[in-house]
Amino acid sequence: MLVVDFLAVVFLMSGLLMLAGKSIPNNINLLAVQSLALSSMAFYMGYNQGANGTHMFLVGGLTLLIKVVILPWVLFKLVYSVKVDREASLSVGLIPSILIGILLIGLSYDYAVPVLLEELPGGHLLSAALSTVLLGCFFMISRRTAISQLIGIVVMENGLFLCAVAVTGGMPLIIELGIFFDVLVGALVMGIMTYQIRGTFDTLDTKYLNKLKG
């Protein structure tokens, strides 16, 4: 389990490090690293399951293809197209964001999983997954750029996916395929919306969407 433990640490820390900077390309790279760790965990679990691990190999391959290759490529193309590679402003400062991120991790490891979810299997892997969901949610809230909010959504989805793997050992293949398809379509839709926001307001700061209120 040392391999899984190491990958879980990489998975979790990549989410925390996203809170430490304003560079959108760096956060895309961290998202790719997180997804690579998730893919590696799927491959490792599939290997340990032997003949029953075929679907985990498929999940690992799809994660590698969609979240490590295709999605970062789409996001990088989007960043270069709209010429916005840094957060202009943050809802929460960098240092408070890191402290809140550490607090969320501590809450997951010391209270949420051991106390509220003690009957569920998964142990530390479930704690890492829940922490990542919370980090992704906070990242999405604390950033105002549409691209960063999309990154936050994918981080949350990575955490939810790891939750399912930790608790059940893997969801039915048809559900996993549906999730991957939803993520890919969602990224494309958000990309189109980002172009629209940029074209309408000449900025990607989502606070200007308040101007659309009647």
The tens digit of pLDDT for each residue in 94-110 reads: 899 999 999 999 988 88
> Do the Cβ atoms of 185 and 150 come closer than 8 Å?
no
Query: Is residue 46 a part of any domain in this protein?
Result: yes
Query: Is residue 207 a part of any domain in this protein?
Result: no
For residue 122, give Cα distances in angstroms to 37, 72, 114: 17, 29, 11
The pLDDT of 73-84, averaged and rounded, is 83
Query: Is residue 213 a part of any domain in this protein?
Result: no
Tokens of 38: 């998730």
Q: How many structural domains does the chain have?
A: 1
In angstroms, the CA 175 to CA 56 distance is 13
Query: Is residue 11 a part of any domain in this protein?
Result: yes
The pLDDT of 12-24, averaged and rounded, is 91
pLDDT band at 38 (very low <50, low <70, confident <90, very high): very high
Query: Is residue 16 a part of any domain in this protein?
Result: yes
Is the pLDDT at 32 greater than 90, yes or no?
A: yes
Query: Is residue 123 a part of any domain in this protein?
Result: yes
Block residue for tokens 């172009």: 195
Cα angle value 181/171/122 (rounded, 5°)? 125
Write out the residue range of the structural domain in which residue 128 sits.
Answer: 1-80+92-201
In angstroms, the CA 91 to CA 155 distance is 18
The tens digit of pLDDT for each residue in 147-182 reads: 888 888 889 989 988 888 877 766 555 566 666 666
